Every structure is written in C-alpha cells, then in structure tokens.
Chain A
C-alpha cells in the first residue's frame, strides 16, 4: 500500500512538475516572443522617419551642402569674355565670384597660420570658418575657436569691410577709450597694436584690435580668470603676420 501510495505520489509529483515545467516553458516562450517583438518594433521605428500626429516627417539625416570655392582664373576669363560681348550682368557676376574665390584663399591662408593651441586650449576644427561676401559691406571673415573644459577663446578676423572702418574710427576715439573704475572697457596695447578690452559678466572678456585700415581682430575669452590671462592668450597671435596676409599696411 505504502509502495502504491509512494508511487502515486511520485507520479503526481512528476506530472505536477511537468505541468509546472510546461507552464514555465510556456511563460518563458511568451516572454521571449514579447521581447523579440519589442526589439523588432524598435528596429523598424529607427529605420523609418519619425512621424508626428500630422503625418509630416522629421529630418534626421543629411551631410549638409557641398561647397566648392569659385575658380578664380575661370571666372576672370569669363568676366573678360562677357565684358567684351557687352554682357555686363554676366561680367559682374563672374568678377564677384572671382573676388569671392580670392578672399576664400586669403582667409584659408590666414587660418592655417593661426596657432593650433593657445594656453593649453586646443583648436576646435569643426568651428574653423572662412566666409566671403565679395562685397565691401561684409567682406572677408575668418573664425576659430579654442577650447579646454569650460574655457573658450574665439578669434574673429574681419577684413575689407566698410563697417570696420567705422568701428576702427570708433575704437580710436579718445572718449571711448577713456578708462574709469565704473567702466567695463579700457584701452590696451598689445604688440604695438592699440585696441579696447571689455568685460561683461555674462559674456566674458572681449578684445577688439584694429590691425589696419579695413581689418580688425576680435578675441572673446569665456571663463578666463582675469585680464592678464586674456592678454597672455592674445599675445600668442602674430598680428603682424595676419596684417600682412590681408594686404594691410
């Protein structure tokens, strides 16, 4: 009897375990299936653009535009031909393109001559920029950024712009350059160049340095400790060389 009972108990136990096992396996299978479905859904969502309620896609791709500097020689030849044919509009456009090409080269040369690092801060290659409008109002602009932790130094060089002539006249005005304890700007001199140093608590230090008739260098120091630190950083630039490369006297 005991034997039968024992056997019956074992049988019931095995059956129960089987059932549990089956349930466990079934539950496990369901879980796997559910997780697989979730993964598949997530992958398909990544492959397709996000669609908002109004069914318009959000752009998440694209490498931007490809910019090729104008061919200077080609444009000069085109300008000559157009002028001789009395096609003045085409001649004008070609000359403008040629000027832009020349300025882009000038700007690129200046950019390559700037230091790779300043006072422990490395240049940010992504921020290097040369832009030319081929018109005297905006002219040529060259920018570079140096970064280390939260400290940043931005250099902007502007050339051949009428706006600079006004700015330079303003910066050399004695009344603007006068210093006082309550003013947040003062005249400074760095490597024989006279300029103005400003400080603002929200934007940091700004050094504006005219380097010729139509050129100016603007250095913006963010999170610099003090004035001497800014001036030391500025001292790393060869302003004479920049001036010569821009054709200034």
Chain B
C-alpha cells in the first residue's frame, strides 16, 4: 500500500504546484486582457492578486528553508503560517512555532517589505548603543548581520525570554525564545537559521 501512497502524494504535490502556477498565469492573462480593453482598474486588481500569489510562493520557499527543529524544540508544521498581503505596511509574513507552550518554546517570524524596519535599523546604526543604554538590550552579530537582542524577565515565574530581531535587506526576522533560556543558548539557536539562503529568496 505504501508504494501506492507515495506516488499519489507526489502527484498531488505536482498538481498543486501546477495549479498555483496556472492561477498566476490566469491572473496575468486577465490583467493583460483588461489592460488592452482599457479596463485599468480591473487590470490593477488582477495584478495585485498576482502579487499576492508570488508572496505565497516566497512564503512556502522560506518555510522550506527554516530548520525543522531549534535545539531540542521540534517545529509544528500544522501551525506554519504564511500570507502575502501586499499591503504597504506589512508585505509578506511567515511564521513557525517550535516546542510546546507549557515548556521552553520559540517562534520564528519573517516580514518582508515592511516599513517597520526603519525603527530597528535606526537603533542598530547608533554606535553608542553598543556600549551603553538599557542593559536588557544589546546589539549582536549573526553571520555578519547586526541584530538587536532583548531580554525580558518575568518576575512572577522567574522565566527569562529573549527576542532577536535581525533586519536583512528589506526583511525582518524575529526569533522569540520563551522559557528558561540563557543568552548563549539563544545565540546558538540564532546561528542555526540560514539567513543567507533566506535572503537569496526574498531579495
């Protein structure tokens, strides 16, 4: 029976990919026809829909590059999320969860084409920020990219959480580690994420 299922799954995946490509082509064809007939608003609408399709493909590809586990925390593929809204303030959004909520857990988010980057980049460009300021914030380097690491302590539970925000190109990656993490642990986990490969897909 296994010999039947695997080819069926493969065939289904190929069909899904083909349908997605067909969907995009249909939208481009509709946009072209609308444009030629002078229906500019319709052309624009279809182009925007096509843009969302591209973002969806990029989202899938990013998810395929992300590690299936972070340290001892396994990912939850059923909770993987991606959306391409082509909105000016959000762009493409990709999300993956690792571990269980009750124990140490982490989440990885990637936003592309987002003006939210401006604030982060401003902080990272301040030379004095590296030496002074809030002791719960520091600038670190990951694969030669500067990132902002922030520590949060829950005084009621004693849990220490870390957030690493790394802007690269027009994208922002946020790794949130919640539970009983050490700084060195979080740095090690951050270094397992393939930023260069993700950058190749989004830039």
- Interface residues of chain A, those whose CB is within 8 Å of chain B, are 72-73, 76, 79-80, 83-84, 86, 88-89, 91-92, 95-96, 98-99, 102-103, 105-106, 109, 133, 135-138, 160, 162, 246-247
* B35→A72 contact, CB < 8 A: yes
Selected interface stretch from B40-48, B123-131, B157-165: B40-48
Min CB gap B158→A, angstroms:
42
State the main secondary structure of chain A at its contact with B: helix
* B88→A102 contact, CB < 8 A: no
- Asked if B201 lies at the interface with its beta carbon under 8 angstroms from chain A, I say yes
* A247→B47 contact, CB < 8 A: no
Interface footprint category on B? 20 to 34
Chain B, Cβ-Cβ closest to A83: B24
- Taking CB atoms, residues of chain B closer than 8 Å to A160 are 44
Q: Among the listed B35, B45, B54, B86, which residue makes an inter-chain contact with A88, where contact means beta carbons less than 8 Å apart?
A: B54
Alpha-carbon separation in the docked complex, A246 to B48 (Å): 15
Q: Among the listed A73, A91, A105, A162, which residue makes an inter-chain contact with B54, where contact means beta carbons less than 8 Å apart?
A: A91
A-B contact pairs, 9 of them (CB 8 A): A72-B43, A76-B28, A76-B47, A92-B54, A92-B55, A102-B47, A103-B44, A160-B44, A162-B88
* B88→A95 contact, CB < 8 A: no
A89-B202, A95-B54 given; A247·B44 CB < 8 A: yes
* B40→A105 contact, CB < 8 A: yes
Interface residues in B1-53 (C-beta closer than 8 Å to A): 21, 24-25, 28, 31-32, 35, 40-45, 47-48, 50-51
Q: Among the listed A95, A109, A137, which residue makes an inter-chain contact with B50, where contact means beta carbons less than 8 Å apart?
A: A95
Q: Among the listed B35, B44, B88, B202, which residue makes an inter-chain contact with A73, where contact means beta carbons less than 8 Å apart?
A: B35
